[in-house]
């Protein structure tokens, strides 16, 4: 009986950690989506770092015909360049210009996240 209780407690703790991590990513993504100005009403934009090699840009909006549009771009950083995939399609290498823009966006994102989500702790 004690073992089952310990397993449930450990599972609840793990579930809380996962939910905490998801909430942090959502918060970071929202901040990242605001990097390039305000988001128009009815539009959702997110930009975030998923892991050490993966960046995601996600945007949702309703077009002039009332149809919902969704584009998710996943950038994968590799030693030989940056690859991107949109809406889970095949990966293509990005141009030098797009790589520079992504690098700038990543730097801006990291600055905002460091100051707004993970501010330094006073000594």
Residue 122 predicted with pLDDT over 90: no
Q: pLDDT per residue over 99-115, tens digit each?
A: 999 999 999 999 999 99
Residue 83 tokens, joined: 């690859």
pLDDT given at position 58: 96
CA gap 72, 88 in Å, rounded: 8
Residue 121 placed within a domain: no
Split into its structural domains, the chain has a count of: 1
- Residue of 112 and 121 predicted with greater confidence: 112
Residue 102 placed within a domain: yes
Residue 110 placed within a domain: yes
What is the rounded average pLDDT of the residues 14-27?
A: 91
pLDDT given at position 32: 94
How many other C-beta atoms lie within 10 A of the C-beta of residue 57?
20
pTM of the model: 0.82
Residue 123 placed within a domain: no
Q: pLDDT per residue over 46-92, tens digit each?
A: 999 999 999 999 999 999 899 999 999 999 999 999 999 999 899 99
Residue 26 predicted with pLDDT over 60: yes
pLDDT given at position 37: 87
Q: How confident is the model at residue 42 (pLDDT cuts 50, 70, 90)?
A: confident
Dihedral, CA atoms, 51, 44, 37, 116, nearest 10 degrees?
-50
DSSP 50-100: EETTEEEEEEEEE-TTS-EEEEEEEEEEETTEEEEEETT---EEPPHHHHH
pLDDT given at position 2: 67
Q: Residue 6 is part of which domain span?
A: 2-116
């Amino acid at each position: 009986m004690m073992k089952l209780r310990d397993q449930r407690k450990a599972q609840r703790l793990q579930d809380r950690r996962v939910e905490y991590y998801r909430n942090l990513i959502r918060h970071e993504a929202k901040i990242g989506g605001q990097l390039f100005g305000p988001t128009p009403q009815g539009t959702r934009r997110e930009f975030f770092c998923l892991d050490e090699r993966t960046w995601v840009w996600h945007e949702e909006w309703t077009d002039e015909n009332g149809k919902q549009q969704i584009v998710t771009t996943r950038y994968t950083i590799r030693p030989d360049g940056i690859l991107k995939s949109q809406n889970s399609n095949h990966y293509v290498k990005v141009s030098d210009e797009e790589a520079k823009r992504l690098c700038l966006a990543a730097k801006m994102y990291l600055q905002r996240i460091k100051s707004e989500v993970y501010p330094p702790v006073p000594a």
